[in-house]
Each structure stands twice: as C-alpha cells, then as structure tokens.
C-alpha cells in the first residue's frame, strides 16, 4: 500500500475552482439583487433598499474572500489551507460582525431587512450554484451552459 | 456601596434589555461553535482526500468550498438572530 503524501508539504497548483465558483456566485448575485432589493423596498421602504444592498455586498464579499483565501493557500500547502479556512471562518464572522456593528445606529439601516437579505442571499445563491456544480460533476460530458 | 446603589437604581426595562443582549450574545457564541466543528471536520477530510488522490483535487475543492459556505450559513443564521434580538 502506498504511503499517503504529507498534507503539510503537498500543494495544489493549477486552476483554482473556488475562484470560478465564487465568480459564478457573484454573477448570479448581480442577477438576483434587484429582486431582493425590491422585496425589501416593499417591506422597509428606502431604508430597506440600502440595507439590502449593503447585505448583498457583504455576502458576495464574504464568498469572494473565502475563495481567495483557499485558492491562495492551496498553492502553498494543504496544511496551511486547512488553517486558513478555520481561522478565515473566524475572521470572516468577525468582519461581518464589525460591518454590522458599524452601521447599526445609522439612520438608513433596517436590521430586519439586513438580516433577511443576508440569510436569503447566502442560502439562495449557494443552492443555485450547487445545482450547477452537481450537474457538471455528475455529467461532465453534459456540462450545463453557464447562465 | 456605590455599586449596590447603582444596581438598585436599575429599572425593570433596563434589566430586561441587558438580559436580552447577554442572552443573544451567548446564543451567537453557541451558534458559531457548531459550524466551527463542522468546517474543521469537512476541511480535514477534504485535505486527507486531496493528499491521497491529488488528481481528484479539483472536484474535492469545489465540493469543499460549497460545504464550507453551507456550514457557514448556520453561523450566519445565529448572527442574524443576534442582531435582531440583541442589538
């Protein structure tokens, strides 16, 4: 039986699929954000619009930052990638916390709209992307067209 | 004595607000622990898979990234509950 390579010295070179996935999510986020903003505008008025835009930007930046961290560290070592993902999780939660705390008392913020948009955008975009990824992994020859 | 006097001056509403804030903070902390464990397990297994089979790394990395994002959604839900109740 061949020995398992050491994850501390193994590194992955070549194309980073996370960047592709996060760019796809970014594109889809641009498609759905007008709908989410419109829904928030109906329920929370102009405050809802600004809050929804802020939340969409937070979610998309969060995806992009996570992907960048994985892509960057995977080129160095798998062990470093694992550490970066774990500490990156904490750092990203902290940054989101900070981003919300900084604007919580602003006149234009609507916290229910912000919270609603964060959850719906994050989960909605992920499910949408997963559908595409699952189809392309299951049927590589029938890779679905990108939207 | 001054501290006791300050405590005695706290009204019921202030006490309720302080309790809500501390409970929300506690709940957010608890909500972040589960995804932390989940992400650690997920990435650990993915690293093992990539080290064993580097040719499948692309597929593993894609699913790992989506898994991380889904697990993180749990922490985000906890965070949203925290901002709606605690702030």
Q: Measured between alpha carbons, how far is A38 from A54 in angstroms, rounded to an integer?
A: 14
Question: Does residue B59 lie in a domain region?
Answer: yes
Question: Does residue B15 lie in a domain region?
Answer: no
A 87-126 residues with CB < 8 A to B: 89-90, 92-93, 96-97, 100-101, 104, 111-112, 114-116, 118-119, 122-123, 126
Contact A93, B75 (CB under 8 A): yes
Q: Has residue A21 got a pLDDT over 70? A: yes
User: For chain B, how many structural domains are there in total?
Assistant: 1
B37: CATH: 1.20.20.10
Question: Does residue B1 lie in a domain region?
Answer: no
Which residues, in sequence order, are CB contacts of A143 under 8 Å at separation 6+? A135, A136
Question: Does residue B25 lie in a domain region?
Answer: no
pLDDT in tens, A48-107: 999 999 999 999 999 999 999 999 998 888 888 889 999 999 999 999 989 988 888 888
Question: Does residue B10 lie in a domain region?
Answer: no
Cβ–Cβ below 8 Å for A137 and B59: yes
DSSP A140: G
B40 phi/psi in degrees, rounded to 5: -60, -45
Contact A117, B61 (CB under 8 A): no
pLDDT in tens, B39-87: 999 999 998 888 888 888 888 888 899 999 999 999 988 888 888 876 6
The complex scores an ipTM of: 0.83
Question: Does residue B64 lie in a domain region?
Answer: yes
Question: Does residue B14 lie in a domain region?
Answer: no
Question: Does residue B24 lie in a domain region?
Answer: no
Range(s) of the domain holding residue B51: 33-87
Q: Measured between alpha carbons, how far is B79 from B81 in angstroms, rounded to an integer?
A: 5
């Amino acid at each position: 039986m061949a020995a398992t390579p050491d994850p501390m010295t193994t590194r992955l070179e070549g194309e980073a699929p996370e960047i592709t996935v996060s760019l796809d999510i970014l594109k889809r986020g641009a498609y759905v954000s007008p709908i989410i903003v419109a829904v928030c505008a109906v329920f929370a008025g102009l405050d809802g619009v600004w809050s929804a835009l802020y939340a969409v930007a937070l979610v998309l930046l969060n995806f992009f930052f996570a992907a960048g961290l994985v892509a960057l560290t995977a080129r160095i070592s798998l062990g470093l990638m694992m550490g970066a993902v774990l500490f990156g999780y904490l750092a990203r939660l902290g940054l989101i916390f900070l981003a919300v705390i900084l604007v919580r008392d602003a006149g234009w913020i609507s916290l229910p709209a912000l919270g609603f948009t964060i959850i719906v955008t994050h989960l909605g975009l992920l499910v949408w992307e997963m559908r595409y990824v699952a189809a392309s992994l299951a049927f590589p020859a029938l890779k679905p067209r990108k939207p | 004595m001054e501290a006791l006097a300050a405590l005695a001056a706290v009204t019921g509403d202030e006490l309720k607000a302080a309790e809500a804030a501390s409970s929300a903070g506690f709940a957010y902390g608890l909500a972040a622990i589960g995804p932390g464990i989940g992400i650690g397990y997920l990435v650990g297994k993915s690293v093992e898979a990539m080290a064993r089979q580097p040719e499948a790394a692309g597929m593993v990395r894609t699913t790992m990234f989506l898994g991380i994002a889904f697990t993180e959604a749990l922490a985000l839900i906890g965070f949203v509950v925290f901002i709606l109740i605690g702030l």
